[in-house]
């Protein structure tokens, strides 16, 4: 390809080979490399999940604390059924949801006292 002046094709093939070898040597079991695994899967011909948790924006202290992690799962379950508006930041689509903390507390089957409300508010701020 190089000799026959098919430079673009050569570059594509070279890039594919590099990424293929790179994916073999990189330790992809770390959660902060989820985005890279998804990008490399088409090259390695591996099936990808149709749905999953994109964890690159989640702070590590939320995942480290069991109570916060459980609350995160509860929140994601609650938020997936809310009405949303799609907005873009740097051409990446994000869902914008509006909800009342008290409604989330009700779904969690927690009493709507001030202590629970403050706990949920702190969690949302961390998120």
Q: What are the DSSP calls for 2-69, one per residue?
A: TTTT-HHHHHHHHHHHHHHHHHHHS-TTSGGGHHHHHHHHHHHT----SS----TTS-HHHHHSHHHH
- Decide if 66 is inside a domain: yes
Average pLDDT value for residue range 86-113? 83
**Could you tell me if 74 and 115 lie in one domain?**
yes
Range of the domain at 105: 60-126
- Decide if 49 is inside a domain: no
* Number of structural domains in the chain: 2
**Could you tell me if 36 and 82 lie in one domain?**
no
Does the pLDDT of residue 95 top 70, yes or no? yes
**Could you tell me if 73 and 109 lie in one domain?**
yes
| Separation in Å, CA 76 to CA 10, 40, 92 | 44, 27, 19
**Could you tell me if 33 and 67 lie in one domain?**
no
**Could you tell me if 87 and 36 lie in one domain?**
no
Q: Which of 22-26, 43-47, 86-90 has the highest mean pLDDT?
A: 86-90
Contact 106, 126 (CB under 8 A): no
Span 5-44, pLDDT tens digits? 888 888 888 888 887 777 677 666 666 566 666 666 655 5
């Amino acid at each position: 390809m190089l000799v026959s002046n098919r430079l673009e094709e050569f570059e594509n093939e070279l890039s594919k080979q590099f990424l293929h070898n790179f994916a073999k040597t990189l330790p992809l079991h770390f959660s902060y490399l989820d985005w890279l695994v998804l990008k490399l899967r088409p090259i390695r011909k591996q099936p990808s999940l149709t749905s999953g948790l994109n964890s690159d924006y989640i702070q590590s202290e939320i995942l480290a604390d069991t109570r916060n992690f459980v609350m995160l799962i509860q929140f994601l379950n609650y938020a997936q059924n809310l009405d949303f508006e799609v907005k873009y930041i740097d051409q990446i689509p994000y869902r914008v949801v509006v909800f009342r903390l008290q409604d989330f507390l009700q779904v969690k089957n927690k009493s709507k006292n001030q202590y629970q409300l403050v706990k949920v508010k702190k969690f949302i701020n961390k998120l």
